[in-house]
C-alpha cells in the first residue's frame, strides 16, 4: 500500500517560485509539502536579477515582509549604473552614455540586485527549514485526481485533491497525498498545468531581440529573432565598464554585460543561427556551442578591448525564447 499523507497545500517544483510560495505558506502556519524531481537545487547560473520592489518584499523587520533581504544583500552584487556602447563615427566601439540603473525616485533600494538562482533558492530553503519544512527531492507527481463531489469542493476544510507521487530513486515506490490545494511551480512546461487542462496564455518572445528583452532592460528595439549564448566568468579585461551593466552594439553583434557576485560577470552574446541550429531539425543544439566559443564571440563584439582566458567558467547556456503571460 502506498504511504498516505494529508496536507493543506502540495507544491510541485522547488525553483524560485516554489520555494518562495512554500516559505510564505509555512511562515503563515499552513501545512505544506513541497516536492521536486531534481536531486539537488541549482548550483550556479540561471536567473540573476532582483528588482528593487522585490527587495522591499524581502526586506528585514518590516511588517508584511519576509525578513530575508539582509542575507541576500550580503551575498549578492548591487548594480548601480548602466552603460551603453555603440560604434563612433570612426567605427570604433565607444561609450555613448552611462545612466543610473534605477531611476524610480521612490525606490528604497535604488539598484538592481544580482545573485545566482541557487543563492536565492538557498535563502528561502534555509528560511523554510526554520519553519520545519524541507523539500522532498527525486519525487514527481504521476496522477492528479480532483473530487467531483460539489459538497467536498465547496468545503474549504476538505481535501479534494488526490495526488499520486512517484519516488524516482526507488522504482515502483509511490505515495498518495490528499491536499486542499495543489500549486504547480513546475516551470513554463508545467506538468501540473497541462494535467489540469489549464492553457498557457500570453505570447512567445521568440520574435523579439532577447538582448532588449532581458528582465533588467526596458524593451527598446524593434523585433528581431536571435539566439543568445550566456557565460558567467571572472573576466580579466581592459574593458572600462566591466563592473557596470552594459548594452553593447558593434559590427560583430550585440552583447549584454551583467556584473555578478564574487567579482563574476555574465556575458549575454548574440549567436548566429549557423553556430547553434541543427541543420537537419532546425532546432537549437547546445552541443554545437561551448563556453570557449561564446567567449570568442564576446571578444569579437568587444574589440578593441581584450578579455584574457579566464581561470574557469562558472556556468554557461544557450537560449532563445520565453513566454510572457
Q: Is 49 in the site for ligand FAD (CB under 6 A)?
A: yes
CA distance 143 to 182: 12
Q: Is 47 in the site for ligand FAD (CB under 6 A)?
A: yes
Q: Which residues contact 198 (CB under 8 A, 6 or more apart)?
A: none
For residue 21, the minimal CB distance to ligand FAD (Å) is 9
For residue 5, the minimal CB distance to ligand FAD (Å) is 16
Q: Is 104 in the site for ligand FAD (CB under 6 A)?
A: no
> Looking at 133, 163, 185, 302, which residue binds ligand FAD (CB under 6 A)?
185
> Looking at 66, 84, 181, 191, which residue binds ligand FAD (CB under 6 A)?
191
| Only segment of 44-52, 61-69, 103-111, 205-213 that touches ligand FAD (CB under 6 A) | 44-52
Q: Is 314 in the site for ligand FAD (CB under 6 A)?
A: no
Indicate the residue among 9 and 93 with the shorter CB distance to ligand FAD.
9
Q: Is 48 in the site for ligand FAD (CB under 6 A)?
A: yes
CA distance 325 to 265: 29
Q: Is 317 in the site for ligand FAD (CB under 6 A)?
A: yes
Counting beta carbons within 10 angstroms of the beta carbon of residue 148, is it exposed (0 to 12), middle (13 to 18) or buried (19 or more)? exposed
Q: Is 119 in the site for ligand FAD (CB under 6 A)?
A: no
For residue 15, the minimal CB distance to ligand FAD (Å) is 2
Q: Is 259 in the site for ligand FAD (CB under 6 A)?
A: no
Indicate the residue among 59 and 210 with the shorter CB distance to ligand FAD.
210
Residues found near ligand FAD in the complex (CB under 6 A): 12-18, 35-38, 46-49, 117, 140-141, 185-187, 191, 215, 230, 317, 319
Amino acid at each position: 500500500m502506498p504511504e498516505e499523507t494529508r496536507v493543506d497545500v502540495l507544491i510541485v517544483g522547488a525553483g524560485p517560485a516554489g520555494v518562495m510560495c512554500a516559505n510564505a505558506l509555512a511562515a503563515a502556519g499552513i501545512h505544506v509539502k513541497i516536492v521536486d524531481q531534481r536531486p539537488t537545487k541549482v548550483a550556479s547560473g540561471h536567473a540573476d536579477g532582483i528588482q528593487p520592489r522585490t527587495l522591499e518584499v524581502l526586506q528585514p523587520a518590516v511588517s508584511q515582509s519576509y525578513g530575508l533581504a539582509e542575507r541576500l544583500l550580503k551575498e549578492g552584487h548591487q548594480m548601480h549604473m548602466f552603460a551603453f556602447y555603440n560604434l563612433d563615427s570612426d567605427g570604433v566601439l565607444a561609450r555613448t552614455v552611462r545612466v543610473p540603473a534605477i531611476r524610480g525616485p521612490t525606490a528604497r533600494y535604488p539598484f538592481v540586485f544580482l545573485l545566482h538562482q541557487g543563492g536565492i533558492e538557498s535563502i528561502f530553503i534555509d528560511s523554510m527549514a526554520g519553519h520545519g519544512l524541507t523539500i522532498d527531492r527525486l519525487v514527481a507527481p504521476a496522477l492528479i485526481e480532483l473530487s467531483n463531489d460539489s459538497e467536498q469542493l465547496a468545503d474549504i476544510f476538505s481535501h479534494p485533491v488526490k495526488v499520486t507521487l512517484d519516488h524516482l530513486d526507488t522504482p515502483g515506490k509511490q505515495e498518495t497525498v490528499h491536499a486542499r490545494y495543489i500549486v504547480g511551480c513546475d516551470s513554463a512546461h508545467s506538468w501540473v498545468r497541462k494535467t489540469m487542462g489549464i492553457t498557457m496564455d500570453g505570447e512567445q518572445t521568440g520574435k523579439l531581440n532577447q538582448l532588449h528583452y532581458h528582465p533588467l532592460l526596458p524593451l527598446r528595439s524593434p523585433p528581431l529573432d536571435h539566439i543568445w549564448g550566456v557565460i558567467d566568468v571572472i573576466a580579466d579585461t581592459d574593458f572600462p565598464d566591466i563592473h557596470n551593466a552594459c548594452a553593447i552594439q558593434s559590427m560583430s553583434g550585440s552583447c549584454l554585460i551583467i556584473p555578478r557576485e564574487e567579482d563574476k560577470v555574465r556575458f549575454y552574446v548574440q549567436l548566429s543561427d549557423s553556430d547553434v541550429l541543427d541543420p537537419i531539425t532546425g532546432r537549437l543544439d547546445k552541443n554545437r556551442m561551448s563556453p570557449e566559443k561564446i567567449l570568442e564571440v564576446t571578444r569579437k563584439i568587444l574589440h578593441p578591448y581584450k578579455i584574457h582566458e579566464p581561470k574557469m567558467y562558472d556556468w554557461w547556456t544557450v537560449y532563445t525564447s520565453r513566454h510572457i503571460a
